A and B are shown apart, each in its own frame.
Chain A
Amino acid sequence: MSPELIRNVALPAGVRAVALLAFLGACNHTEPFQPSPREPLGPYERADVRRLTFNTSEDSDPFVIGDSVIVFTRIEPNRSDGDRCLAYLPVEGGTLLQTLCPHGMVADTMRDAWLFPAVSPGGRLAYVSQESRITSFAPGVRRLTVGTTRAPDSVTFALNLPVRLFGQEPNSVRRLAWDGATRLRFVAGDEGFPLVNNVRDTTFSALGLAVVEVESGVVSEEPGGEGIYVYAPRADSGVWAVDAEDPAQLFALGAGIRTVAGRFSGAILDIADVGGIPVGALALGATLEWLDPGSGRLMGRLVAPGTVLRLSAAGGRRVVADVEGPLGRDLWLITLP
């Protein structure tokens, strides 16, 4: 543009200055770089028997929330205090959504544990919390706790153990499962850590199935639940159950009545209700078996990648399995044929 033209179209200098300021104000500044958020990875593979966790430490006791997310107990591999934390993982696998540890993510001088998580339809998180010194083998404090999935330590209910059940005082509970919004089932038992021939006996000795009302705190035995050491809630609010007296025999327990529902080919470590079908994890042979819920007859069998210690139904014909392999305990997603 020539100077002459500039002069011809020029506005008064004051107006030009104001216009210039307005123009400058309309510009935006350059922004600094920002570290890009890490996008979570999808499933590692798409197989019907799919490994979900790959670490060399322990991932255990999965519980599937709404057929989409698994909450489970995880030992953070590089924590000096050996705390057991709660972790959340997409049920299809991929990157962990969140890990929450007792007293934060930094190791301290206590060995704390959040175990056996179970989430109610309303989002309440039940789990067993344990505290002990790093140098101590047995937990010093153990309680059945209810918090929230976002903040497990925002405790709304706590049941200190031991409690009086089945004529004894069991000091441990396992296999938590909600029955509705306020009723929490669990298997009560003993985990006394006695010294037997200079070896700590860490065996959990189940006494039976019990219930606690988290609103009132009332603890009671599940009618017909004595001796049951594994169970799986059914859609009709009854449970599939196995009694320690006959660890291959499957019962249907409802309204205090036990009904024989079938028989697995061996002792069962855990069972799950997969779309109404009782699926059992055999103690020997790294095998899952499932029975016809009507006839009790064996419907199928599947070889698992290791010994399956826990099962949690994951919607459809899927089940999340806590599998013990040569590198520790990992979670697998297994789709029944």
Chain B
Amino acid sequence: MNRCCAVFVLLLGAPGVGLMGQTEGNIGGRVTDGATGEPVVGAIIEIDDRGARGLTDSTGVFLIRSVRPGRHRIGISAIGYRSVSRDSVLVESGRTVRLDVSLTRVAVPVRGVVVEAEPDPLLDPLVTQTVQRIRVEELRELPVSTLSEVVAIQGGVVGGSFRGGRVGQDVLIVDGLGLKNQFDAASGRFGLRIPAVAIQEASVITNAFSARYGRALSGVVTAVTKEGGDRLTGHMAVETDRPFPDGSDVGLDRLVALAGGPLFGSVRFLAAMDAQARIDDDPVNAPPPADSLDPRFERPWLLPNAAGERYDLLGKLTIPLGARQTLRVLGVVSESRRELFDPVLKYTTLPGNGEEVGGRLAMLHLERTSVPRSDHTLVIDARLGFFESEAARAPVVRHPRRRVGAFSFSGLEFAGMTIAKSQDTVRARDPIPGFTVPTFADATPWGVNAFFMTSSPRGELRWNRFREVRGRVDVLLGRGRVTDVRVGGEYARQWVDTFTRLAGFRAVDDGAPPATAASYGPSHAAGYVEWQQRASDLTVSAGLRVDAFGSGVADAGGASGKLAASPRLAVSTALGSATVVASVGRFVQPPDLQYLVSAAFDDTLRTGRFRRGNPSLGFETSTQYELQARVRPSADIGFRAGVYVRRLEGLIASVPVGFDPDSAVFANGDFGTVKGVEIALEREYRDGFGLRATYVLQQAQATATDARDLFRRLRISPTGDTIRPSETAFPLDFDRRHALSVTARARVPSRGGAVFAGTEAGAVAQWSSGLPFSLRDATGDSLIGLPNSQRLPSQFTVNVMLRRSIDIGATAVGVYLDVRNLTNRRNVVAVRRSSGQPDPTDAEIAGLVADAFEADPTPIPYESPRYRAWADADGDGLIAGMDELGPMYERAARDFTQPIFAYGIPRLLRFGVEIAF
């Protein structure tokens, strides 16, 4: 049978499945009489011994929709035939597992036969989305520890940006419920982490994602959590980098644990924990300083006051309610805290600023399936979730005391957090208790009053909390094997509370900006209908989603609810040996809620500008056109290529108000275009080796988004008129032109006696061209050329995981070595906009020295703690004048401007021991 015929037969025999859902899979196949080959009509298909879930039709074909990903036991029975079952049938989201069953008559003393076949996911024309999936095995074997790391190795994803969009244009779907920190998505601060050990399957979808999901312009990340099985199983791992030498030991300790199984009756549980602490939570590969007096000179690896911890807990109950209903209760708690190393505070013994971010999720999921009928299926899912994300940033009162390794097991003690959480702007007019008035540090090697302080001069106290109750109902109606219809809707009530105070060490009456606080309750509602129809080898998927949101800001003044419709259409068919998919879709997302708050945010984007919120902001939108072809040149090799064009409209930007150059208001002012080509080549994991390579060529251009607002689509004149300047295109911030990612897995065959027998290896290599940046002139006021017209150097990393496990009865014991940035390449991730290099120019240093000397030319006497004998050239006990003070200022300036965070991670090693049962 040639390949074309195989596809055709697959289409005929395979069910017309509803593959638009991202978090469920399907099981389909044909049941025949083993003796005659005739179809068995009315055969009953059970999943996990939970009663009949599907029936065969007159042709012996069955289709069970909306099956949770994971391994299931499938039973097939029919009157007059011997029942058969198949254990550990792996179901993956968006795919159909095919089971062809031959039953034997009861009178015949031979069992039936089940043949499991997975339809080719590459050529399956029912798959209209670009899904990059990572399975539980890959999660274990690849050098990834978190879901965000999983996402980062997918093609078209750059540091939280999907297909050229900015950070925050994605949504996370956890067990079917969409989650997003709608307050602060643009900063990438989500708050909630699903422990990787509890993830059954994760995927990234960057096009044509289902109308079921909204609030995203560029991508959808799904995570399906595991469930407890029929017997008690568990897994525990301890990771550390303690045994490794300086430079590879960043103070990492990690503990991962998972347990699941029956609780009582048919109720099953799953509990997972992932706790990690690092003495340096943000390790960088910055070169050591050249100055031997710099304390980093001898020990350049770790940064002080940069410790971080995170704790992620997940608990899940699966409660069968009869044969047709299942209730799932999911709870996730995440806490992360970190000290924020600040070069300004390099020479103080006081703790600097810290940050705590917490996330909590509680979700109920009731699933109901219809009585099995061969001609139609009805599946209803109802979900109710509470999601909370809370973030705080403030000076830390005292260093957390480490108790075990890098773990302190305690929260950071912040100054002023009581005031912040109570949003007490009246008390906040006084200096905030615990804030220290910054003075120049005198314990520096350089002695001068410049650059280095005893406490943060920003005096920042920030707190915000985003809460959301979201309920949604999804109905799947399957008609025969050719039609799927999904309808559903969701409603969310949200609560936002914020507090910001700057210069908290000073009273408002002494010139500090007053505290700002806001509390408001936005809401979001959506409804959708989605239809998929197969006719011969043509599949058409069409959906319409309508989103609405209200800002809930009390003084909105005309901020009525916003409404947006998002039609989506995908057509796929088999052309020769290829499957071709064309799709067009419109996607919308409400703006980050922080941009709605009127006058609550000073310097939101840290560019020194005052930005006013705008409660009348509307949806940000994206329209995407994509054409994709998939072929399989050989049995093991799959190839996918696609081109796409995305139009981004109504993106949030800041627009100047009147003549004030430092004042702006948020508006739906940006737009951009992303064009790209994606190529993927995959060698299926088979015979101990698998490889996947993706290459993305992309161009993302905008006419705005520059933080300094030099170019934009709209300007508002002092008279209130709208001015449209001539259109100028320049790269978007995430315009990564080339990105190549190669993921490989291998396993050394198990041959008795070989040292490396059974060793598993996983590797991820990524090369990408540099992101754009803007070059400024020496004054810092003007750009050289267009915004984002310069490019950072390319980046390259190789991460490797080696694992060796030994089975001892039902227990597996293993050790593994996880290496990040194996080549220890010094990737430049940022440069100074003035020089285009990580380091400042000599002219910049000279400017800093001149400014600092002018600010404080005071001579330094011998008795001063600032006196440095090496600077007292004439030895008169007084360091005076530019001749003597200048070198001190220069060395201080070079220390202060070290480009520590301009570099990516160094080579990181971690060694782990794990036990699974």
Specify whether A and B are partners. Answer: yes
Residues of chain A at the chain B interface (Cβ within 8 Å): 3, 12-14, 16-17, 20-21, 24-25, 27-38, 40-41, 44, 51-56, 77-78, 89, 93-96, 104-106
Chain A proximity of B600: nearest CB distance (Å): 29
Query: Taking the complex as formed, is B864 at the interface, i.e. its CB lies under 8 A from any CB of chain A?
Result: yes
Judging by beta carbons under 8 Å apart, are A56 and B878 in contact? yes
Q: Which residues of B contact A77 (CB under 8 A)?
A: 858-859
B484 in the interface (beta carbon within 8 A): no
Cα of A251 to Cα of B261 in the assembled complex, Å: 99
Bound form: Cα–Cα A29–B915 in Å: 24
- 8 A Cβ contacts from B297-317 to A: 298-304, 306
Interface assignment of B877: CB less than 8 Å from any CB of chain A: yes
Q: Which of B29-37, B235-243, B677-685 contacts A (4 or more CB under 8 A)?
A: B235-243
Taking the nearest CB of chain B, how far is it from the CB of A166, in angstroms? 39
Task: Kindly list chain B residues whose C-beta atoms are within 8 Å of the C-beta of A105.
Answer: 437, 439
Interface-central residue, A3, A21, A24, A95, by most chain B CB under 10 Å: A24
Q: How far is the CB of B873 from chain A (nearest CB, A)?
A: 15
- Tell me the smallest distance from the CB of B878 to a CB of chain A, in Å: 5
Complex Cα spacing A1 to B300, Å: 35
CB distance from B480 to the nearest CB of A (A): 54
If A24-B243, A78-B449 touch, whether A44 touches B753 (CB-CB below 8 Å) is: no
Residues from chain A with a CB closer than 8 A to the CB of B157 are none
State whether B863 touches A35 (Cβ < 8 A). Answer: no
- Assess the B249–A30 pair: CB atoms within 8 A: yes
Q: Is B864 a contact of A96 with CB atoms below 8 Å? A: yes
Q: Report yes or no: B304 in contact with A32, Cβ–Cβ below 8 A.
A: yes
- Asked whether any CB of chain A lies closer than 8 Å to the CB of B737, the reply is no
Which of B279, B863, B877 is within 8 Å of A29, CB to CB? B279
Select one of B302, B806, B856, B858 contacting A31, CB under 8 A: B302
* Interface 9-mer from B267-275, B584-592, B743-751, B807-815: B807-815
A104 contacts B251, C-beta separation under 8 Å: no
Residue of B nearest to A87 (CB): B863
Which residue of chain B has the shortest Cβ distance to A56 in the bound complex?
B859
List residues 832-867 of chain B with CB under 8 A from any CB of chain A.
Answer: 856, 858-859, 861-865, 867
A-contacting residues, B403-431, CB 8 Å: 405-406
With contacts A29-B279, A32-B299, A54-B862 known, is A3 near B753, CB below 8 A? Answer: yes
**Most chain A beta-carbon contacts within 10 A, residue among B249, B442, B813:** B813
Q: State how many angstroms separate the Cβ of B255 from the closest Cβ of chain A.
A: 11
**Which residues from 224 to 257 on chain B have a C-beta closer than 8 Å to any C-beta of chain A?**
238, 240-243, 246, 249-251, 253
Closest to B300 in A: A33
B755 adjacent to chain A (CB < 8 Å): yes
> How far, in angstroms, from A105 to B437 measured CA to CA in the complex?
9
If A32-B299, A55-B878 are given as contacts, then 5 extra A-B residue pairs at C-beta distance below 8 Å, sorted by A number, are A24-B243, A41-B867, A54-B861, A56-B880, A105-B439
Question: What is the CA–CA distance of A23 and B159 in the complex, to the nearest angstrom?
Answer: 36
Residue contacts A-B, CB under 8 angstroms, 6 given: A24-B243, A33-B304, A44-B877, A77-B859, A95-B867, A96-B864
Q: How many chain B residues touch A (Cβ–Cβ < 8 Å)?
A: 58
The answer to whether residues A33 and B298 also contact, given A24-B243, A52-B863 and a CB cut-off of 8 A, is: yes
CA distance A27 to B238 in the complex (A): 14
Q: Which of the residues A24, A36, A52 comes within 8 Å of B240, measured between beta carbons?
A: A24
Main secondary structure of the interface of B (DSSP, over half): loop
Q: Which residues of A contact B863 (CB under 8 A)?
A: 52-55, 89, 93-96
Interface pair A20/B913, CB less than 8 Å apart: yes
Interface residues of B (CB under 8 A from A): 238, 240-243, 246, 249-251, 253, 279-280, 295-296, 298-304, 306, 346-349, 405-406, 437, 439, 442-444, 449, 753, 755, 806, 808, 811, 813, 815, 856, 858-859, 861-865, 867, 869, 876-878, 880, 911, 913, 915
| A33 and B861 form a contact (CB under 8 A) | no
Q: In the complex the two chains form, what is the Cα distance from A120 to B304 in whole Å?
A: 42
Q: Known: A28-B242, A29-B405. Contact between A36 and B867, CB under 8 A?
A: no
Q: Which residues of B contact A94 (CB under 8 A)?
A: 863
* A56 and B253 alpha carbons, distance in the complex (Å): 53
Question: Which residue on A lies nearest to B879, using beta carbons?
Answer: A54
- Closest CB of chain A to B414's CB: distance in Å? 22
Name the A residues within 8 Å of B242 (CB-CB). 24, 27-29
Closest to B293 in A: A36
Question: Which residues of chain B come closer than 8 Å to A33, judged between CB atoms?
Answer: 295-296, 298-300, 302, 304
Query: In the complex, what distance in Å separates the CA atom of A35 from the CA atom of B880?
Result: 25
Q: CB-CB < 8 A to B405: which residues of A?
A: 25, 29
Q: Is the CB of B295 within 8 A of A35?
A: yes
Across-interface contacts of A37 in B (CB, < 8 A): 443
Known interface pairs A3-B755, A30-B246; A35-B444 also in contact (CB < 8 Å): yes
Contact of B858 among A25, A34, A51, A78 (CB under 8 A): A78
A52 / chain B contacts, CB cutoff of 8 Å: 863
How many angstroms between the C-alpha atoms of A175 and B658 in the bound complex?
A: 64
Give the residues in chain B near A95, CB-CB below 8 Å: 863-865, 867
Find A34's partner among B240, B246, B304, B864 (CB 8 Å cutoff).
B304
Instruction: Collect the chain A residues with CB atoms within 8 Å of residue B880's CB.
Output: 56
In the complex, A106→B439 CA distance in Å? 7
- Within the complex, what minimum Cβ distance (angstroms) separates A313 from chain B? 21
**Once the chains are docked, how many angstroms separate the CA of A38 from the CA of B443?**
6
Q: How far is the CA of A35 from the CA of B352 in the complex (A)?
A: 14
B865→A96 contact, CB < 8 A = yes
User: Bound complex: CA of A104 vs CA of B455, how far in Å?
Assistant: 14
Q: Closest residue to B297 on the A side, CB-wise?
A: A33
Chain B residues near A16 (CB, 8 Å)?
813
Closest-by-CB residue of A relative to B449 is A78
Which residue from chain A places its CB closest to the CB of B876 in the assembled complex? A54
Distance in Å: Cβ of B210 to nearest Cβ of chain A: 44
Tell me the complex Cα distance, A56–B864, Å: 12
Chain A residue contacts of B858, Cβ below 8 A:
77-78
CA distance A27 to B240 in the complex (A): 10
For B240, the chain A residues whose CB sits under 8 A away are 24, 27
Taking CB atoms, residues of chain A closer than 8 Å to B808 are: 12-14
CB distance from B301 to the nearest CB of A (A): 7
Closest chain-A Cβ to B239's Cβ sits at a distance in Å of 9
Alpha-carbon distance A52/B863, docked complex (angstroms): 7
Chain A residues with CB below 8 A from B250, complex form: 30
In the assembly, what is the distance between CA of A307 and CA of B679, in Å? 88
Closest A-chain residue to B248, C-beta based?
Answer: A30
Q: Which residue of A lies closest to B243 (CB)?
A: A27
With contacts A21-B238, A31-B279, A44-B877 known, is A78 near B444, CB below 8 A? no
Kindly state the separation between the CA atoms of A31 and B303 in the bound complex, as whole angstroms. Answer: 9
Partner of A35, one of B406, B439, B443, B878: B443
Task: Determine if A30 and B301 form an interchain contact, defined as CB atoms under 8 angstroms apart.
Answer: yes
For the complex of A and B, list the 6 residue pairs with the smallest distance between their C-beta atoms, beginning with the closest.
A55-B861, A32-B302, A27-B242, A54-B861, A54-B877, A33-B299
Closest-by-CB residue of B relative to A23 is B243
B859 touches A55 (CB 8 A): yes
